[in-house]
A and B are shown apart, each in its own frame.
Chain A
Amino acid sequence: MSFLDFQLAYSGVYANMRMVHVLTSVVGTKCELKVRNGVVYEGVFKTYGPECELVLDAAHRKGPEPVVGPRHEDIVESIIFKASDVVVVQFKDIDLNYAKKDNFTDSAVSARLNGEHKEKDLKPWDGGEQHGSDSLESLDADMSNGWDPNDMFRFNEETYGVKSTYDSSLSSYTVPLERDNSEEFLKREARATQLAEEIEASATYKARVALENDLRSEEEKFTAVVRAERESHTPSGRENKYVPPGQRNKEGLSWGAGRQNSPRMVQSNNNVPSTRPGPHDYSLSSAADRVLNGGATWPSPCPSPSRPPSRYQSGSTSLPPRATTPTRPSSRPPSRPTRPPSHPSVHGSSAPVSTMPKRMSTEGPLRMSPKTQRTPRAHRLSSSRGGIPSGVDFIPHSAPVDASIPPPAHSSMSGGTWSSVVSGGEQHSDLSLTHRPRSPKQTTLGSSPAGSCPQVGTTPIDPVAVPVSPTTASLASNQAITPSTEAKESRVQETRQMSPVANKEIVKPVDTSPSIGRPVNKGDTLYLTFPASHEASTGDKIAPPPPAPTMSTATPNTSISPGSSSSPSSPSSSASPASVLCPAPEYKRGPEVTSQGVQTTGPGSKLDGQEDKEEKKDSVQEQVRKSTLNPNAKEFNPRTFCTQPKPATTPTPPRPQGQPSPSVVVPQPPTVYSQTVCFPQMYPLTPVSPGVQVPHMTVSQTKPYRAVPSMPQQRQDQHHSQGTPTMMHPASATGPSIVASSPAYSAQYFTCSPQQFTSQTLVQQMPHYQSQHVFSSVMQGSARMMAPPTHGQPSLVSSSTTQYAEQTHAMYGKCPPALSVSKLLPMSPGPIPQSYSHPSATLHAQHPQPSATPTGQQQQGQHAGSHPAPSPVQHQAAQALHLGTPSQQQMYSALTPTPPSMNPGPNTQSTQASFPSAQQAVYIHTQQVQHGYNPSHMAHVQQAHLQSGVVPSHHTTPSHPPMMLMATQPPGGPQHSLPQSALPPIPVSSTAHFSYMAHPSGITQGTE
């Protein structure tokens, strides 16, 4: 309404931007208005009309006598003067800056487009590739801030002869813990540890820690400018230098390790070995502690970055102990030392990873670490306490994380779980990174394949790939197989995990342990670390878990990657290790297409694999699904992901999905949605949207941006793609990116069925640029829903609703998918019917039935695909009709039939069937929406159409059905798991956001 109204309203003076501005800025001031006959009226300028009618409030006719004010009786409430009667209006002593808003916020900047009612695309600043060591980027990269404290001391001593009295034990501020072996002391210590564990195991603690450790900076959270992932900067250079809290998080592993190790570890160490001499010798004790803790001695007095966090946590965790014993001081020092070691460890890890690009490795670990750190702690504590000697630091990280992961799952889904999940994701990412250094980037790029240099070469290949696309499914399966070992393992693990999840803690550990064996690929260092951790730690179990998660994730990722990542990063694949290799071949086969096809295939393959497994084990599947839910829950940790995500590893995100394999499928969808939603907002107009969107997605959901350096690249890619004659490139590029991004997100946020959804959606969308564009447009449309009630909008709404539904699914894991769908129904009823009605009123009736069965859906999908599109637009329309109608019907059917009893539903489908249908419906919806939207709105859409015309999405469509099945499975899992997960604030928020968006539109439509 607003939009149209605006256009109508912008007539007369209202069309004159400057006049509007001046008159508006003068509103509320007194003025003297002289009329033709010379009479002067004085009043408060209230407003003005399009024909420049002027309205004065509390106006009175000004008499000749100056001073005396008007009498009450002389004042007229309001007078409207026609412009033709006005000779002169004088506003005296006006402060034209009175109502000027600030010009420096993003909103203010974006609001400058006074007359233009189009959203401004804020673009991240790109300084180009020539950043020297002195560039801003380098400053960012250099985590250090100023001098190394030791350097400062030395400098002062040498230059001024000032000898620092700094005492790392801080004896001036605290009292050292007097340790002894007395029964009383041990008792107290045990009590303290117990309390610490209780506290750290509590959901509230985890939730708060999660808040505290939200790695996203304010800018990341609120910026309107989407940043591509920034390459994580390793603090390598100056480890000792001060790192602002904001940046500390980035240093993932080291941090986490530090934390974990530091507080409790130290204590434990002390206890066991009683290494700590005593409170007396601070220096000695501290040094000893340090050595013990970190293994690495941290000579430098300044705890530097790691400390604060460690302290904080330690504080919380260690509080009880403190109360009882004075250990505190000693513990702190150790914590410090630990940290430094952690850095080294990180480096070491990266080194092993060396196969991978340094950047990636560094990023991965760093980011990972923070996340992992968060969650793991509590769990880790127990394990880690065993006391990790020096060198072990690294291990602790991974181990703690892994270990932590399972526990979180056990514990409430809250923040703690997240972190754990995240950590897992991170690890995965790391692994993935190691395996495919490039892939991450590429994936992040999404579109990047084209964009990145290497990619360009690949892009041409893409066309070739096209044929592949159909085969993609097979390929995907193959791929899945190739990685198969890994994939299978991962699957198995996943399944295990799933089950474990259901079972919870017990199962998980087991899974993890097996996984550990696999991980070998990752790095010798890792292994070493693990063992060490095991040894050090109380039980092998703990140690194993971490690796396992990573491995599993990695494997899944790898398997997944082939599909999603492979396309984007053919080069990467080559670069990447074994897992990577698989993707590479695929990539070659269907390069560009791969992007589209690959994506489809990727998901498809995954789905297939999952399906197969599921089929094999129906009962098991159910459990697994449920269990998957748990994994999902873990994944929810999105935050960590986000941080990690950075994008760079966008590809990695998929991997994380992989971990929860079951969850993976599910999670993706939601993420996708969210992403899509975000996109629109973020970059509604940009054609590049696909690639861009992905980043946006990441950004919106998580911090990923920083991590994702890809943004710029993506854009470049996009440009390249654009530049390239073939339309495919962009699409392919976008496609991959989407997939990659979505997986990551999904994984993070929704391990549940949503992933499948996403994958499906992704696939379909991917193939069609349109879809992506559409999404963006849709999103925009949804945002602006209010203004133009075009056909597209309804569709949009529906899409949004569907998304919402999915989200809700994820959110309310407990609720059966069907239920969620049903929920949607109430929501959607209004919107859906409307949207659909346009294109497919007739079709509607026909399609509905098929929807009942998955196969039917598939058929429909095929139909859509088969339709040759005479013209892109028509083609789309046709598809839209087909797809849309079926989907709608499906949707309905799905909704109705849903087990929950919501509605008997026309179709007597099993719950599973209903699920798939629902998913499909959702999925379809999106497409429909897209289609419907396209015509009405975006030019992009048109482009998309063209592209779509060029590359039939059919391939993708066929694959969809399987996807659907997959999806259905996951939902079940998610439901169970979700209940717990429902709590996780972050994911919810993100989802809520999106859902919100959708909701309003849906609601509005419904109301309308």
Chain B
Amino acid sequence: MAAPGPGEYFSIGSHVSCLTCLGQRLQGEVVAFDYQSKMLTLKCAPSSGKPNLSDVVLINLAYVSEVDVINDRTETPPPLASLNVNKLASRARTEKEDKLSQAYAISAGVSVEGQQLFQTIHKTIKDCKWQEKNIIVMDDVVISPPYQVDNCKGKEGSALSHVRKIVEKHFRDAESQKSMQHSQAQQTQKDSTLSS
């Protein structure tokens, strides 16, 4: 029931549902399975909901209490595409740097709003960094603590106006998101009450 016995393999592409010993249920398409390490890799629906993305879950079947094969696929899986290792390596490096940079800022006492703003800006403009509690964008624009649009300072020009737009949009989106979450929370509450 739990881990597959020897010779028992998951066929690639089949859909499986697992319940871990920690009570987490995971369901997805089998991408890979390594018998020796009992590691099962599933491709799951993306948590963000974006269609071109997916969640990848690596499950140690040694700690899974249930494995249900929802549907099995017998056809041979598609060939694997080659990977650009350099690209992956650089991604790992930048991700790490970003995280460390963020951690640095956090440890410096930057507010959550500031961190979020930084993340937002960073998505658009890679060239941004923390300087104490200030966000430096393109070495040109400085956003200081309350991190509002008015706090964006620098040489007048396209760069400054551009950053201001980003900041403005960030807070607007944050507002709408809050309201969304709020409404969603209310919705879920209603649902729960109804169901119960």
Contacts and interface: CB of A to CB of B under 8 A. Distances in A.
Contact of B82 (A18, A96, A101): A101
Nearest to B24: A88
A75 B32 CA distance: 30
B60 A88 contact: yes
A28 B56 contact: no
Contacts of A99: 83-85, 87-88, 91
B103 interface: yes
Nearest to A16: B34
A44 B92 contact: yes
B49 to A, nearest CB: 9
B57 A91 contact: yes
Contacts of A18: 12, 31-33, 41, 77, 80
A89 B31 CA distance: 14
A28 B99 CA distance: 12
Interface residues of B, number: 58
Contacts of B115: 69
A100 B56 contact: no
A13 B91 contact: no
A57 B56 CA distance: 18
Interface stretch (A79-87, A541-549, A859-867): A79-87
A112 B79 contact: yes
A74 B50 CA distance: 31
Interface stretch (A29-37, A648-656, A688-696, A783-791): A29-37
B191 to A, nearest CB: 22
A112 B80 contact: yes
Contacts of A93: 46-48, 50, 53-55
Given A27-B91, A58-B96, A91 B56 contact: yes
Interface in B14-59: 20-22, 24, 26, 31-34, 36-39, 41, 43, 46-48, 50, 52-59
Given A16-B32, A44-B95, A92-B48, A83 B37 contact: yes
Contact of A13 (B34, B85, B88, B99): B34
Contact of A91 (B55, B62, B80): B55
A72 B47 contact: no
B120 interface: no
Which of B39, B48, B87 is most buried by chain A, counting CB atoms within 10 A of its CB? B39
Interface stretch (B104-112, B141-149, B152-160, B168-176): B104-112
Interface string A905-927: 00000000000000000000000
Contact of A38 (B22, B26, B50, B96): B22
Contacts of B93: 28
Interface in A7-21: 12-13, 16-19, 21
A103 B82 CA distance: 8
Contacts of B26: 88
A101 B20 contact: no
A22 B32 contact: yes
Interface in B55-69: 55-60, 62-63
A424 to B, nearest CB: 45
A52 B56 contact: no
Contacts of A23: 32, 41, 58
Given A13-B36, A19-B34, A72-B104, A86 B82 contact: no
Contacts of A13: 34, 36-37, 39
B92 A46 contact: yes
Which of B32, B38, B96 is most buried by chain A, counting CB atoms within 10 A of its CB? B96
B194 interface: no
Given A91-B55, A92-B47, A96-B43, A21 B100 contact: no
B90 to A, nearest CB: 8
Interface residues of A, number: 61
Given A12-B37, A30-B95, A71-B103, A87 B22 contact: yes
A25 to B, nearest CB: 6
B1 interface: no
A52 B95 contact: no
B158 to A, nearest CB: 31
B99 A44 contact: yes
A68 interface: yes
A892 interface: no
A90 interface: yes
Contact of B103 (A16, A45, A70, A88): A70
A158 interface: no
A739 B93 CA distance: 54
Interface string A52-83: 10100110100000011111111100000001
A95 interface: yes
Given A38-B22, A67-B112, A27 B88 contact: yes
Contacts of B90: 28
A21 B88 CA distance: 12
Which of A16, A58, A88, A112 is most buried by chain B, counting CB atoms within 10 A of its CB? A88
B88 A28 contact: yes
A407 B194 CA distance: 98
A139 interface: no
A83 B50 contact: no
Contacts of B63: 36, 87-88
A98 interface: yes
A54 to B, nearest CB: 8
Nearest to A115: B80
B36 A73 contact: no
B52 A95 contact: yes
A196 interface: no
A68 B106 contact: yes
A297 B36 CA distance: 80
B6 to A, nearest CB: 15
Interface in B94-137: 94-96, 99-100, 102-104, 106-107, 112, 115
Nearest to B91: A28
A632 to B, nearest CB: 43
Nearest to B33: A19
Given A22-B32, A86-B60, A98 B81 contact: no
B56 A95 contact: no
A108 interface: yes
A70 B110 CA distance: 12
Which of B22, B26, B33, B38 is most buried by chain A, counting CB atoms within 10 A of its CB? B22
A367 B106 CA distance: 71
A114 interface: yes
A965 interface: no
Contact of A100 (B32, B46, B77, B84): B84
A70 B96 CA distance: 13
A100 B80 CA distance: 9
A441 B111 CA distance: 79
B106 A86 contact: no
Contact of A75 (B52, B55, B103): B103
B81 A101 contact: yes
Contact of B92 (A36, A57, A67, A91): A57
A94 B57 contact: no
A52 B60 CA distance: 10
A88 B40 CA distance: 9
B19 to A, nearest CB: 11
B33 to A, nearest CB: 7
B62 A89 contact: no
B106 to A, nearest CB: 5
Given A18-B31, A87-B63, A112-B80, A72 B91 contact: no
A72 B80 contact: no
A120 to B, nearest CB: 12
Contacts of B39: 13, 19, 52, 83
19 contacts: A12-B36, A17-B80, A18-B41, A19-B34, A22-B56, A23-B41, A27-B88, A28-B89, A54-B58, A58-B96, A60-B103, A70-B103, A75-B100, A88-B58, A89-B57, A89-B58, A96-B56, A97-B52, A99-B88
Given A13-B39, A93-B47, A93-B48, 4 more contacts: A13-B34, A89-B59, A94-B53, A112-B81
The list of the 8 closest CB pairs from A to B, nearest first, reads A28-B91, A28-B92, A72-B107, A52-B37, A18-B32, A89-B58, A19-B32, A91-B56
